[in-house]
C-alpha cells in the first residue's frame, strides 16, 4: 500500500534524502529526526518551507492510508510495537535491570 502511493514515496524521498535520517509514525503522531551536523531545516533556499510542506504531505498520506486500512476491517491495536515502543521499553529496562541486580546482590550478601 505504501509503495503504491507515489506522492507519499516522493515526499519521503525528499525528506530522507535531504533532511531527516529517520521518520516515525505512531498512531496519529509523525516525527522526523534531523541531524544538526549535516545541515538544518531552514538551510535551503525555501527557509524550511520545503521540509514542512513535505512533512505535511507525508502526514496527510499516512492518515489517508490509515483510514483506508481501517475501512478494510482491520482493527486498531491499543498498543503498537514499533520503534518508539521498543525504545521506551529499552529505556525502562535499562533503569530496572541494574536496580534488580543490585537488590539480588544485596540479598545474597546479607545471607
| Chain CA centroid to CA 37, Å | 20
The yes-or-no verdict on residue 1 having pLDDT over 90 is no
pLDDT range class, residue 103, cuts 50, 70, 90 = very high
The yes-or-no verdict on residue 63 having pLDDT over 80 is yes
DSSP string, 2-33: TTT-HHHHHHHHHIIIIIEEEEEEETTEEEEE
Residue 109 C-alpha cell reads as: 550478601
pLDDT range class, residue 108, cuts 50, 70, 90 = very high
Q: Is the pTM of this model over 0.85?
A: no
The residues near 61 (Cβ < 8 Å, ≥ 6 apart) are 5, 7, 8, 11
Q: Select the more confidently predicted residue: 5 or 88.
A: 88
**Tens of pLDDT, residues 10-61:** 888 888 887 788 888 877 777 888 877 766 777 677 777 888 888 888 888 8
Q: Select the more confidently predicted residue: 52 or 1.
A: 52
Q: What percentage of the chain exceeds 90 in pLDDT?
A: 19
Helical segments of the chain, H only: 6-14, 49-71, 83-110
d(Cα 45, Cα 43) in Å, to the nearest integer? 7
**What's the pLDDT at 79?**
62
| Chain CA centroid to CA 53, Å | 18
Amino acid at each position: 500500500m505504501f509503495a503504491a502511493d507515489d506522492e507519499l514515496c516522493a515526499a519521503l524521498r525528499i525528506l530522507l534524502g535531504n533532511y531527516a535520517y529517520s521518520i516515525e509514525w505512531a498512531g496519529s503522531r509523525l516525527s522526523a529526526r534531523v541531524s544538526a551536523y549535516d545541515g538544518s531545516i531552514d538551510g535551503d533556499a525555501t527557509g524550511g518551507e520545503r521540509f514542512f510542506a513535505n512533512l505535511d504531505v507525508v502526514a496527510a498520506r499516512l492518515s489517508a492510508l490509515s483510514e483506508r486500512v481501517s475501512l478494510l476491517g482491520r482493527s486498531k491495536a491499543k498498543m503498537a510495537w514499533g520503534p518508539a515502543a521498543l525504545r521506551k521499553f529499552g529505556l525502562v529496562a535499562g533503569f530496572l535491570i541494574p536496580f534488580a541486580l543490585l537488590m539480588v546482590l544485596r540479598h545474597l550478601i546479607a545471607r
